[in-house]
Amino acid sequence: MGPILPGCRREYRTTSGAFKWIVLITILGAIGLFYAFREGLKDVDRIYEAADFPADTRFIKTNAPPPGRDGL
């Protein structure tokens, strides 16, 4: 039977193979949490917008569209 984690051979016992997987899973988890938190902030912004809060209370700032000919 082969090793459970790739990079860990039976005759070469080390934790470096497991450490690489732990680091990889941690990085992927951090990226996932970042996107989940960002989606949550977008939901809060939608709730604030529906409740007619001012635009400066938003968590994710959006740039104002450039002024048209009338704004010059």
What does the pLDDT look like over 16-32, one tens digit per residue? 677 888 889 999 999 99
- What are the pLDDT digits (tens) for 48-66? 888 888 878 788 777 666 6
CA 45/CA 25 separation, integer angstroms: 30
CA 56/CA 69 separation, integer angstroms: 25
Provide the whole-model pTM.
Answer: 0.57
Q: What percent of the chain has pLDDT over 70?
A: 64
What DSSP string describes 8-68?
--SSS--SHHHHHHHHHHHHHHHHHHHHHHHHHHHHHHHHHHHTT--GGG-SS--PPPPP-
